[in-house]
Amino acid sequence: MCQHRPISTDDLLPEEDICDLADFFKVFGDSSRLKVLWALRHGELCVTHLAELIGMSIPAVSHQLKILRHGRLVRTRRDGKNIYYSLADEHVEKILDLGLEHSDE
């Protein structure tokens, strides 16, 4: 006989929250975006430097940054004509670290 505490639908996340969480994790499901995020762990970079660092074209990096901005995982800072990208906050770095730790187990 099962010895667990019964749960009810009140214990579950609302469907809207589940969908938002699924969308959030989908952003991490692409290796190109993970390369960009990992590079930004070390400080802010412009698109040109990001592209050189991770070996992608500038348009490809720009496309990934657009998705990461939409997912609120990166932020921007303008300096004249240049735009610099960085991780949105310390949570993004923690998620990357926890994901790597989990995959290494």
Parent domain of 33: 15-104
Which pLDDT does position 1 carry in this prediction?
58
Question: 């998705």: which residue's tokens?
Answer: 67
- Asked, for residue 29, whether it belongs to a domain, the answer is yes
The phi-psi region of residue 69 (left if phi > 0; otherwise alpha if psi is between -120 and 50; otherwise beta) is: alpha
Please count the structural domains in the chain.
Answer: 1
Q: Which residues contact 47 (CB under 8 A, 6 or more apart)?
A: 58, 61, 62, 65, 83, 85
Which pLDDT does position 59 carry in this prediction?
98
Whose CA is closest to 47, among 81, 97, 96? Answer: 81
Q: pTM of the full predicted structure?
A: 0.86
- Asked, for residue 43, whether it belongs to a domain, the answer is yes
- Asked, for residue 6, whether it belongs to a domain, the answer is no
Mean pLDDT per block of 10 residues along the chain (105 residues) reads 73 91 94 97 96 97 97 96 96 95 90
Which pLDDT does position 105 carry in this prediction?
83
Which pLDDT does position 2 carry in this prediction?
61
